[in-house]
Structures are given as C-alpha cells and as structure tokens.
Copies of this chain bind each other. A is one copy, B any other.
C-alpha cells in the first residue's frame, strides 16, 4: 500500500509559500504511481491535530496551477509550537494516531525556524516509535533568518516590494519637500533581523540618494544621533527618507513600545513609524509622512521576484524527489554555486537539527560603519534575490489568485481537544 503525503504551512505566510506547495503538488501528480494521496493540513499542524485533511485531488487542477502566483497560505497556517515530548505528549500522540489512521508516510512542513524545530521533534518522535516516515522541512520566511540556506523563500519578493516602494515614495516626498512634507518613514517587518530593512538600500546609487537612513534592529537606536542625522540630511538634500525595522530597540526596549496611550488609557499597540514621526515633529518641527506596510509587504505577490518564486517552486519539486529517495530528517536549502558571479543556485539540504531555533542576523559587514546604510556586499546579495519580474495574471484589473475549496476528508478517529 502506497504511503500518503501530509503537507502543511506554518507561521507567518509569504508571497511565495504557495509556489512551494505547487512545486510539491505538480511533482506529486507526475509521480502518482509512487505515492498514495496528497493531503494538505488545514491550518498547518492543526490540520493533523484536528484530523482536518484536505485532499488535493478534489481541487480543480486549473486552480491548483494558480497557486504558483497566489500569496498567503492557501491551506491556512498556524502559530503553534510543539514543546518537548514530555510537555506536549498529548499532541505528539495525537499526530501519531492521525498519521497512522491515514497511512501518512511523508511529512512536509513548510515554515521558518520554529517550524523546523517542530519538524525535527516530530521526526525524532516517529523514529522512537519505529514508525517509518519521511520528514522534510521546507524553508519559508520573509525575515530571511534561517541559517545554512543561502536565503529563504519569500525574502527576495518582499525585498523587491520594499525597494520598489521606498523608491516610489522617495520620488513622492522629494516632490513635496519644498513647501510641505520633508520626511518619509517606512516601517518594515523582519523581527530581530535587519534583512528586510536592508533591502530598501538596494535603490541607492550615490550619496544623497534615498533611503538616507536605515534603522536596523542589529544597531542600538540612539535618539540624539538619529535626530542630528535627519537634520543634516534635510539640510544637504532637502528631504529625508527613513526605513525602520519594526524590531529596533533603545536600551533593550522596543521603540514601538513607547508607552503610547489613547484617550481611554489603553496602551497603543505597535508602530515604530508613528513613534519616530512624533519624535521628529516634536523635536525638529518638520512635517513627516509615514507608512506601515505590514501584511501588504508580506503578501505583495503582484511584485514578486522571479528568482524568489523559482526557488520556492523548485524547493517543492525537489521535496518530492527527496521523498522518493527516502531522504528524511532534513530541511531543504538553497545552495549558491561556488564562485558564480551572477547568482547560480541549486537545491540542497541540511540536517533539521542544525537549523532549528537559530536566527541568522544581518552580518556585521553588511552594514556600513555609520550604522545607517548597507555595504556593497549586502547590496549585491539582496539584488540577486530580488531580480526578475513574474507577474500574476489579472482579470478586470485585479490579480487572479487561486480559489481552493479546501474540503476536508471524512474523519477516521475520534475528536481531539487541544
């Protein structure tokens, strides 16, 4: 009896995670004589816990094909981290029961650092039970903070979005700066790592070009130095463009956690950009505009990077090859070919244990000594990943994204309470 596949999406989604899903699905259909059914977990690993399995074969092939150009997580994602077996015994046993009931012999988990940790734990647990299952982690995170892999699918596209948006908004604020707004601030994601903030830097060709200041989470924020720099930039160039990472800190305290309170006394949530805007207006008396792109950046498939989409897709396809060969306990990686001037890459792999729970920060030599700009090597690294356009198809002016039914199959075992 051929083993079935269980695939799930995990953590914060990306513009290209569905391209990885489609790589798997397309390659699976080509290898149907080797595999049983292909199930996708509804809402990530929750799909296993709740025995909510979506049978891919019940979806229209034409819609599945659109996955390659569709952002978000088409099968639903979740934020749920499995602890050790001792602490999460119920969950591990439940996953065992569900996988056994549905003859799951291949487990693909598509996520970031936490998810690779979960894949690793599940793999080890099934090994201890002598249940043969291939466990493969597929990388995904716009934060680009997974170790070993050259880059993470999702990053290149979001980098392209941030670079393009910064360039466009810079032209806007530059036009307005003579009589009105002189400062524009864009807040970007990236958690503790400055990769996304750095990506705005690839639009700078010469001194004076925007972005004038990038605020990295790797560099401690210093209000006095920052305000002086803003003032100098405006004096020299007439306007100032700032790209700030959501994770910047001053004295180990997040800047976004600045104690803002609304008129009801509720603490205000999030937003580095409005805090910086306030600071500039209050101290320098300058008109500021600010944007927080939030999910817009994370889902901007309409301006996806061709390289990034191809990598995400190839990771999925290669996943099926690995499964056929029975290679388990690994996360697939992007490996840069040696000494290639232009980025040449292939899919490779590393042991799951090596990636779980390790965050890769922006290297020191990727930030210029002034602490506000990226180095040439950083620019080269990011440019290679955000290169090339791969537009989705449009209908009536709007992108045509996949519309899946996501019907779950009949349950075989009794209900589980989380």
Contacts and interface: CB of A to CB of B under 8 A. Distances in A.
A167 B261 contact: no
A180 interface: yes
Interface in A37-78: 43-44, 46, 70-74, 76-78
A174 to B, nearest CB: 7
Assembly stoichiometry (copies): 2
B79 A167 contact: no
Which of A164, A170, A282 has most B Cβ within 10 Å?
Answer: A164
Given A180-B78, A275-B262, A172 B43 contact: no
A167 B401 contact: yes
Contacts of A295: 168-169, 172-173, 184, 289, 291
A270 interface: yes
A186 B296 contact: yes
Nearest to A387: B397
B292 A264 contact: no
A140 interface: no
Which of A12, A46, A175 has most B Cβ within 10 Å?
Answer: A175
A409 interface: no
Contacts of A173: 295
Nearest to A180: B79
B396 A387 contact: yes
Interface in A362-408: 383, 386-389, 391, 394, 396-399, 401
A163 B398 contact: yes
B399 A79 contact: no
Interface stretch (A116-124, A228-236, A297-305): A297-305
Contacts of A141: none
A171 B295 CA distance: 10
A400 to B, nearest CB: 10
Contacts of A401: 167-168, 171
A396 B79 CA distance: 35
A195 to B, nearest CB: 15
A263 interface: yes
Interface in A159-208: 160, 163-165, 167-176, 178-180, 184, 186, 202-203
Contacts of A9: 175
Given A78-B178, A78-B180, A262-B258, A293 B290 contact: no
A41 to B, nearest CB: 11
Contacts of A296: 165, 168-169, 186, 291, 293, 296
A77 B239 CA distance: 13
A266 interface: yes
28 contacts: A70-B171, A71-B168, A74-B175, A76-B178, A79-B179, A79-B180, A163-B397, A163-B398, A164-B302, A164-B398, A165-B296, A165-B300, A168-B295, A168-B301, A172-B299, A173-B295, A184-B294, A184-B295, A202-B397, A203-B398, A266-B281, A268-B274, A273-B292, A274-B274, A289-B295, A383-B396, A387-B396, A387-B397
Q: What 4 A-B pairs come out closest when comparing CB atoms? A: A72-B171, A73-B175, A259-B263, A168-B299
Interface of A: 9, 12-13, 15, 43-44, 46, 70-74, 76-80, 160, 163-165, 167-176, 178-180, 184, 186, 202-203, 258-264, 266, 268-271, 273-275, 277-278, 281-282, 288-296, 298-303, 305, 383, 386-389, 391, 394, 396-399, 401
